[in-house]
Structure 1
C-alpha cells in the first residue's frame, strides 16, 4: 500500500468531522480493526495513518447506522462471529446471497457439499462480484477460487486484497496483506484490486439482512 492509499489521523478527523474520542471509542468497540491503525515515521515523528478507502467507508457506515443499532450490535455487523456459520446451497440461493451461476461454478470447481462455511460463501461472493463486472471470465474464475482456497486461511482476519492481473493474454491472482506495496513489470495490467475486508463486510450485511 503506497502513501496515496493512506490518510493521516489528522486529515481523517477533519474530513469526517468525528472527534478523537469517537475514533478511539469505536476502536475499543471493535468497529474499526486494530490493523487499520498504521504507525509510520514522518518528519514530525511517528504518526497514525489508515487505509483511506476502507476507513472512510467504515466511518460513513457507522455514522449512518449508529442511530438504529447500538455499538455492540454494529460490532457484530462489522466483526461477525462466522466460525459456526454453515449454509446449504439452497439457503444461499433462497437468501439471494450470490447468483445461482456462482454457486454452481463453485460447486463444480471445489466440490459439492451438504453445507458451506463462511469462507466458502465468501469465495462464491467474490467470484460473483468479479463475474458481474464482466472483467473476469469463468475460466479465469478457476484461478480466483484456487488462490482463495490455498492462501486466504493464512491472512484471514487481516487487512488484505485480491489482485487480478493480466499479461499478454494470460491472467493471474495475488492475495496480498495490507499494508504493503506491490509492483509489477510494465507489461502487466492490474484489472481490479478488491479489499477482502470490504467483501467480508458486504457479505455479512447480506447475511444479517436476508
Structure 2
C-alpha cells in the first residue's frame, strides 16, 4: 500500500512552521531530499511529504532546537557516524538494549566484544523487533544475518526492514525508502521498521 502523503500547505498549517524554515532545514540536511516528493495535480506540480515521518521529524526538530544548533541536529539525523563504538559491557551498563537482545547477538557473533556504530544499529533493530513480541528469540539470527550481509549495500541511502512469515517459514527483507515491497496474500508481515528512525533513536540513547 502506498504511504500516506501530506501536501506542503497541509504541513505548514499543521506544524505552524514557515516556508523559509522548511527549506532552511532541508538545506541543513535535517530533512532528507527524497522526502520532498513532486507530483502532478490539477493545478500543476506540487510538493508532498511522507506524512508520518515528516510530522515526526518536525516534532523532533522543534524539541531539539533550543538545545542544539542546526549543525548539531544535522549530525543527529546523519547516516552512521564512523567514530562511535562501544564495548558490550558499555552497552549493558548503559541499558542501550535488553539482555535478551545481547544474548542473541553474542550467540551469533561469539568473540565480538566491541561494536562499531553499524553493528550497534543491527543490535538495536534486533532489540526493537524482539520487544514487539512478534519475533521469537530463535528468529533473531535471521534478522541479524540480513542486516550483517546486506545493510552495507544501502550506504548513503535510507532503507526499511520487513520480517514476514508464510506457512511457518520466516523471511527478512531490506528495501529502499521510498519504496514498497509486495508479497502474496498468504504472507504476513509481523514486523516492519524504518532504519533511519532506529538510527535516530539509537543516537539519542548514545547521546
TM-score bin (small chain) = over 0.9
Aligned to 1:46: 45
Does residue 1:126 correspond to 2:125, yes or no?
A: yes
Aligned to 1:66: 65
Count of residues in Structure 1 that have an aligned counterpart in Structure 2:
207
Distance 2:111 2:125 in 1: 18
Secondary structure at the residue paired with 2:47?
A: strand
Residue correspondence of structure 1 range 1-210 to structure 2 within 5 A: 2=2, 4-79=3-78, 82-208=81-207
Q: 1:190 Cα shift? A: 1.1
Distance 2:30 2:136 in 1: 35
Q: 1:191 to 1:81 in 2, by over 3 A?
A: closer
Q: Which runs of 4+ in 1 moved over 4 A?
A: none
TM-score by length of 1: 0.91
Secondary structure at the residue paired with 2:112?
A: coil
Deviations 1:139-196 (A, max 9, x none): 1111100111111111133222101111122211111111122221111111121010
Deviations 1:48-86 (A, max 9, x none): 222222111110011122122222222222226611212
Runs of 5+ consecutive residues of structure 2 not aligned to the other structure: none
Distance 2:5 2:152 in 1: 25
Runs of 5+ consecutive residues of structure 1 not aligned to the other structure: none
Structure possessing the higher relative contact order (Cα contacts under 8 Å, 6 or more residues apart)? 1
Distance 1:8 1:117 in 2: 38
Distance 1:146 1:93 in 2: 22
Q: 1:202 Cα shift? A: 0.2
Contact 1:35 1:158 in 2 (8 A): no
TM-score by length of 2: 0.92
Secondary structure at the residue paired with 1:186?
A: coil
Between 23-32 and 39-48, the greater mean CA deviation after superposition = 39-48
Contact 2:79 2:156 in 1 (8 A): no
Contact 1:8 1:49 in 2 (8 A): yes
Distance 1:81 1:152 in 2: 11
